[in-house]
RNA sequence: GCCGGGGUCGCCUAGCCUGGUAGGGCGCCGGCCUGCUAAGCCGGUGGGGGAAACCCCGCGCGGGUUCAAAUCCCGCCCCCGGCGCCA
């Protein structure tokens, strides 16, 4: 027992409540967990006492002669009746306690801005020289100067075409209508150059991170329920996760899930830490909570490819490793020539697993908005407690849970939308970021400098 | 998917048929002894509750039988071998 949240629940429940309040969640979940934990401990002690009495008698039975023996057996049976009554009560309380503990979100790091929703997110730095259409100047200032940043930008008098239109109408390299007919909305067909671009983005991110010493992993794309519960909260489960019918299997929504599972139920010696991984996988998401947001194009879709960073760390190292992860992602987006800002996510907008989260948001010229491309979280010991991933120190008997962190490196389709808007030229061509050319060269038919609109085959 | 064999405290292994506190070896940690090394001796080395004494649980997982299950019965998971199917 040294899950930081359980320790806080027992030693300072009021402090834990403060953390829950920061998330604008109902603080009574702390009272509930606290009450159930105490009740459980009391009941457990009682059950163990009765079991002890039964064990003592049970052992005596084999040693005593006959008439005595029958009497002891009767006595043991009596105790069993009492025991089974208490045990079913214990089981009930235990289940409730377990659920109450699983309902608790992570604590909130002191550096996290407090506020109920994403309007309280705080940009911490900007990079690049965004192209701002004159009609979006005011909006741009709202997203930069309002926070005290003077961001160098280029004002343009033509409005770039939105990524969804570029995809289907300008380039003609995507078909979401056909996909929605045969699979549903938020699916897509991509063709030719955009497929090469998708592949190149993955290779680019893989190359960059493996060069930095991250171990490359191709993980399972499906996991069991027990494992899924270890990495996400119930709400994410309902909003995001697809289930395989008739099997205890769920499609991963990110390689983060399988990478967390890689060391599930293991003890990790402190000398092995940090363990740094870079996983590549398809991601499957229901987007059930998204409503009708971003229905057009490939910004928010049910499946895409992603390269993901995942780190297991000693608790004392996790905060500096979080900076490393976000800075790795920044390196990638600077290479892609996409102007971005890093945002410190407000307490009310954090997912339950994260103690702190940075988003990397790229300026989208056609929308006049910075939009999320990368999400980087320190989940401290929230996931490792659930997955029983422990830290073994060389000295001392104290058991701890490792800290785990995750961050996007590149999510393919979303990054493609950012390229389509930012590297768009007035003539409708798309400039290929220099950093990707090396990876496109692997394919004979891949684009080199520009992606060109496909010529209309038949004119109406 | 079918047939057979297997899963025991970090590793190896005994116990299972015939139910009665899970034993041994190795490794590791601590202590003792020895002027170094080696050897030897003692203790510890799964999870949980408890301030502690101590207690409970633990033989892949979950049920059942029994006063009592590693051991008997049922279901499931995983590993090995064979057969089948297959990109």
How far, in Å, is the CA of A437 from the C1' of nucleotide B28? 53
Within a 13 Å sphere around the CA of A185, how many CA atoms are in the beta-carbon half? Answer: 12
Q: How open is the CA angle A167-A413-A147, to the nearest 5 degrees?
A: 100
Q: How far is CA A146 from the centre of its chain?
A: 29
Q: What is the ipTM of this complex?
A: 0.82
Nucleotide nearest to A394 (CA to C1'): B29
- Judged by phi (left if over 0) then psi (alpha if -120 to 50, else beta), residue A192 lies in left
The two tokens of residue A394 are: 């060389």
What is the rounded CA–CA span in Å between residue A294 and residue A305? 18
**How far, in Å, is the CA of A344 from the C1' of nucleotide B4?**
59
Instruction: Report the footprint of strand B: residues with C-beta closer than 7 angstroms.
Output: A 1, 41, 44-45, 47-49, 51-52, 54-59, 61-62, 73, 76-77, 80, 399
Active site residues of A: 285, 300, 372, 375, 414
CA angle A422, A425, A429 (to 5 degrees): 105
Q: What interhelical angle do A13-22 and A4-11 show, nearest 10?
A: 120
Q: Which nucleotides of B are covered by protein (CB under 7 A)?
A: 20-21, 47-50, 55-57, 67-68
- To 10 degrees, the CA torsion angle through A316, A320, A321, A322? 110
**Pairwise CA distance, residues A134 & A130, whole Å:** 12
Rg (CA), chain A: 27
Burial of A228 (0-12, 13-18, 19+ CB in 10 A): buried
Helices of type H across A62-135: 66-102
The spacing between the Cα labelled CA in A9 and the C1' in B49, in angstroms, equals 17
Distance CA A243, CA A251 (A): 6
pLDDT by residue, tens only, chain A of 460 residues: 578 899 999 999 999 999 999 999 999 999 999 999 999 999 999 999 999 999 888 888 887 777 788 888 888 888 888 888 888 888 888 888 988 998 999 999 999 999 999 999 999 999 999 999 999 999 999 999 999 999 999 999 999 999 999 999 999 999 999 999 999 999 999 999 999 999 999 999 999 999 999 999 999 999 988 888 888 887 788 888 998 888 888 999 999 999 999 988 888 888 888 999 999 999 999 988 887 788 899 999 999 999 999 999 999 999 999 999 999 999 999 999 999 999 999 999 999 999 999 999 999 999 999 999 999 999 999 999 888 888 887 655 567 889 999 999 999 999 999 999 999 998 889 999 999 999 999 999 999 999 998 765 544 4
Q: Residue A382's closest CA among A33, A92, A103?
A: A103
Q: Assess contact for A53 and A378: CB atoms under 8 A.
A: no
């Amino acid at each position: 027992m040294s899950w930081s949240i359980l320790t806080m629940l027992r030693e300072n429940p009021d402090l834990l409540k403060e953390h829950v309040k920061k998330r604008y969640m109902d603080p009574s979940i702390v009272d509930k967990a606290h009450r159930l934990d105490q009740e459980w401990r009391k009941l457990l002690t009682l059950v163990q006492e009765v079991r002890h009495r039964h064990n003592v008698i049970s052992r005596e039975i084999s040693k005593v002669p006959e008439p005595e023996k029958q009497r002891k057996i009767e006595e043991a049976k009596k105790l069993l009746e009492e025991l089974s009554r208490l045990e079913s009560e214990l089981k009930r309380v235990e289940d409730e306690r377990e659920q109450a503990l699983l309902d608790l979100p992570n604590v909130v790091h002191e550096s996290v801005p407090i506020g109920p929703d994403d309007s309280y997110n705080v940009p911490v730095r900007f990079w690049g020289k965004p192209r701002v259409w004159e009609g979006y100047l005011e909006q741009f200032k709202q997203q930069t100067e309002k926070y005290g940043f003077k961001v160098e930008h280029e004002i343009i008098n033509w409005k770039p075409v939105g990524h969804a239109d570029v995809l289907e109408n300008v380039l003609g390299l995507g078909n979401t209508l056909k996909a929605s007919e045969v699979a549903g909305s938020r699916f897509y067909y991509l063709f030719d150059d955009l497929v090469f671009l998708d592949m190149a983005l993955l290779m680019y991110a893989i190359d960059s991170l493996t060069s930095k010493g991250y171990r490359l992993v191709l993980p399972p794309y499906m996991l069991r329920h027990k494992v899924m519960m270890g990495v996400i909260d119930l709400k994410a489960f309902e909003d995001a996760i697809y289930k395989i019918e008739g099997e205890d299997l769920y499609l991963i929504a990110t390689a983060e899930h399988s990478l967390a599972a890689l060391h599930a139920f293991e003890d990790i010696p402190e000398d092995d830490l940090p363990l740094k991984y870079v996983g590549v996988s398809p991601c499957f998401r229901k987007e059930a909570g998204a409503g009708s947001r971003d229905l057009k194009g490939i910004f928010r879709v049910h499946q895409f490819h992603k390269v993901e960073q995942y780190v297991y760390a000693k608790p004392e190292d996790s905060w500096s490793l979080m900076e490393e992860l976000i800075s790795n992602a920044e390196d990638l987006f600077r290479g892609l020539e996409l102007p971005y800002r890093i945002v410190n996510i407000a307490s009310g907008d954090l997912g339950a697993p994260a103690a702190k989260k940075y988003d990397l948001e790229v300026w989208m010229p056609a929308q006049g908005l910075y939009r999320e491309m990368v999400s980087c979280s320190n989940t401290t010991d929230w996931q490792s407690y659930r997955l029983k991933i422990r830290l073994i120190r060389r000295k001392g008997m104290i058991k701890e849970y490792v800290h785990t962190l995750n961050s996007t490196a590149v999510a393919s389709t979303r990054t493609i939308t950012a390229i389509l808007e930012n590297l768009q030229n007035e003539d409708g061509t798309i400039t290929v970021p220099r950093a990707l050319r090396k990876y496109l060269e692997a394919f004979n038919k891949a684009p080199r400098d520009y992606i060109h609109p496909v010529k209309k085959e038949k004119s109406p």
